[in-house]
Amino acid sequence: MSTTVSYKSPFLLNLLTLEGCIKVIERKHHSNDVSDIKSYQVIILKRIVKSLSTIEFVLNKEVDSMSAYGILRMIIDSICIYCFIYEKEDKDEVEFRHYLYLLDGCSQYNKLISSLEMKNEIEKKSEDNLQKNNCDLKSLQCGIENALSSHNYSKKYGKDAGKIIKSANWKYKLIGGKGENKYNWEDLYKEIGYDCDLSKLLSNYLSQYVHGLFMSNTMNPQAKSHFHIIYSLLAEFTRRLIRSLNRTFGEENILENLEIDSQKLLNSGINFHDVGKRMKELYGK
């Protein structure tokens, strides 16, 4: 098998595995209600898998590693958030962080919309749609705030929980924690099991490309070294996400009931020896 296919194989197999896992779990968890936490996890997972397919297209068809770095950072952050929130053993903590995460998103979006000045050139229809979406989100935010105010942590921790809710701080370190009671991105990578060196790589190295800094304008976007780095990180973080799925949906035996698309597997160019080796690695944990 060619080297070109070889270094891609772990990621491609992980992507097929994730697609197969989602097929299993979304049969049972397919609600759009944000209070159905398992179904909301599936929504996050489907978005991540869509982004994984997109980055493969950008790398394989467009041969554009610079754009892929930006997508890669988004994917890694999304996987980090999923693992950080939904792997917690305490179900109350999962639920509390889940609603805080939603509240943060709603409140930030509503602040953005309220600060925008509607220009004359914007069509009335677009303005109406924007206002309707904003109204829907405000209603959603109200429901989320009610869920948080009646949560077990609000009853247990009182004002300390209220302070966290007020700032929509889903990254809090401790309820009642003093000072800057909030994980930064490097801390979050560490929280899900990655060491300090990798955390700094993700925060600093990828930022060069995400923010269009010096390196993104001087490096050859088609250099093989970029592709090896990106595919290696994709393989590692998709492996981490599969482990997380097994932890967060383990009772549903998703790995045992896995449905991998055989045609996609054939079209991927993955050697079947690699498939057996990779499956053993994944299922053996």
Model pLDDT for residues 38-56, shown as the tens digit of each residue:
999 999 999 999 999 999 9
Q: Residue 242 above 90 pLDDT? A: yes
34 contact partners, CB below 8 Å, separation of at least 6: 40, 102, 140, 143, 144
Residues 200 and 264 in one domain: yes
Question: At what angle are helices 65-86 and 91-115 packed, to 10 degrees?
Answer: 130
Among 185, 216, 248, the domain boundary falls at 185
Q: Which range, 230-244, 248-262, 269-283, is most confident?
A: 230-244
Q: Which residues of 13-35 are buried (b: 16+ CB within 10 A; e: fewer)?
A: bbbbbbbbbbebbeeebeeeebe
Domain span including residue 211: 1-87+192-285
Residues 136 and 98 in one domain: yes
Residues 83 and 111 in one domain: no
> How many independent structural domains does the chain possess?
2
Residues 153 and 270 in one domain: no
Distance, in Å, from the CA atom of 275 to the CA atom of 12, rounded to the nearest integer, reads 10
Residues 46 and 127 in one domain: no
Residues 62 and 124 in one domain: no
Provide the pLDDT confidence category of residue 225 given band limits of 50, 70 and 90.
confident
Residues 122 and 160 in one domain: yes
Residues 198 and 284 in one domain: yes
What digits encode the pLDDT tens for the residues 89-133? Answer: 999 999 999 999 999 999 888 777 766 654 444 445 555 565 666
Among 137, 164, 185, the domain boundary falls at 185
Residues 83 and 215 in one domain: yes
CB 28 within 8 A of CB 252: yes
Mean pLDDT throughout 4-33? 88
- What does the pLDDT read at residue 3? 40
Residues 81 and 206 in one domain: yes
Among 185, 220, 240, the domain boundary falls at 185
Residues 96 and 83 in one domain: no
Residues 172 and 238 in one domain: no
What digits encode the pLDDT tens for the residues 137-159? Answer: 888 999 999 999 999 999 999 99
Distance, in Å, from the CA atom of 167 to the CA atom of 171, rounded to the nearest integer, reads 10
- What does the pLDDT read at residue 1? 35
Distance, in Å, from the CA atom of 47 to the CA atom of 26, rounded to the nearest integer, reads 13
